[in-house]
Amino acid sequence: MELQGKTAIVTGSARGIGEGIAVAMAREGANVVINSRKEQDCVATVEKIRADGGKAIAIAADVAKEDQVIAMVTETVKQFGRVDILVNNAGIESPPMLLKDIPEEIWDRTLSVNLKGVFFCCKAVIPPMMDQGKGKIVNVSSVAGVRMTFFGGANYTASKYGVIGLTNHLAWELADSHINVNAIAPGAVLTPLAEQGTTQEYRDMTTKRLIPLGRWCTIDDLGNAAVFLASDRADMITGQVLAVDGGALTGFGEDLRPVIRQRMADMQASHDAKH
């Protein structure tokens, strides 16, 4: 098992991507803290992990509130004796709107959870990780933090760019403490919520236009990436952004490839004719 005996906090892990990451880490032997703002929301994930023979506890905390984050980390150390892995997954989206129409409270709430929450959680785990002489921090950003979001607003894009900037800075700052800090940038992910909120026609259309590998990411895809970055196999990887997006960041989907390939063939034929 990749993470045997290690302790991981996965924020926003009651459902969706966070749940998938938490389950994957438990499967690899980690003791996992399941987190959400309400403890009752975590029960199903905790029970799922325990039913598979894993170890998990629920700790409620709003990551946008520093006192609650400190209490979560303190309780984790009390329960398991250490914290080896932090996965900053908790995040929110808001209805897509133009920048000129975004209310200040929506902007502030998005940045508070998606960016300030990462700051609070990292700040809280750094001292115990330093005491241990090692740690792994995995921040869940988005392809929106590398390019932009097609499906949300500028508030979401700004928050996810911030996560990647924070990741890079912390990786440098914490390297001599042997704390690795990396980010995952998911593309379109087929969570239960996404499946309910989109039609098959829409998913097929976005896949054809945006995803060269021909499908949306699964929760397991994200779990596998997080386990790798949290494992000893990634000891020499820090300050990196691992895009789990089916190739979406290449910028070329299925409908563009034939055009580009034909142009290349035409150029080669023209070159051959001249020579």
pLDDT on residue 193: 83
- pLDDT, tens digit, 9 for 90 and up, residues 58-104: 999 999 999 999 999 999 999 999 999 999 999 998 888 889 999 99
- For residue 253, the model assigns a pLDDT of 55
Q: What does pTM read for this prediction?
A: 0.90
User: What pLDDT does 258 receive?
Assistant: 62
pLDDT of residue 273 exceeding 90, the answer is no
Compute CA distances 271 → 55, 62, 268, whole Å: 64, 62, 5
- Name the percent of the chain lying above pLDDT 70: 95
CA dihedral 246, 247, 248, 249 (to 10 degrees): 140
Q: Are 56 and 36 in contact (CB under 8 A)?
A: no
Task: Tell me phi and psi for residue 173, to 5 degrees.
Answer: -65, -35
Q: What is the pLDDT of residue 70?
A: 98
Structural domains of the chain, ranges and CATH numbers in brackets: 7-274 (3.40.50.720)
- Residue 264 binned pLDDT confidence (cut-offs 50, 70, 90): low
**Using 50, 70 and 90 to split pLDDT, how confident is the model at 163?**
very high
Residues involved in catalysis: 156
Q: Distances from the Cα of 183 to the Cαs of 4, 63, 191, 231, 275, in angstroms?
A: 22, 18, 19, 14, 49
Token representation of residue 194:
């996404």
Residue 203 binned pLDDT confidence (cut-offs 50, 70, 90): confident
The reported pLDDT for the residue numbered 272 is 82
| Helix, strand, coil percentages, rounded to 5, for the chain | 55, 15, 30
* Cα-to-chain-centroid distance, residue 269: 45
pLDDT, the chain, mean:
92
Structure confidence by residue, pLDDT tens digits, 112-162: 999 999 999 999 999 999 999 999 999 999 999 998 887 788 999 999 999
Residues 6+ apart with CB under 8 A from 188: 194, 203, 206, 207, 210, 211, 216, 217, 245, 246, 248
CA 242: distance to chain centroid? 9
Say how far apart CA 20 and CA 16 lie, in whole Å.
6
**Residue 78 pLDDT:** 97
Tokens 């988005």 belong to 142
Q: Using only the alpha carbons of the chain, give its radius of gyration.
A: 20
Residue 201: the pLDDT is 87
- Tell me which of 178-187, 234-243, 254-263 is least confident: 254-263
Bridge partner list, 181? 137
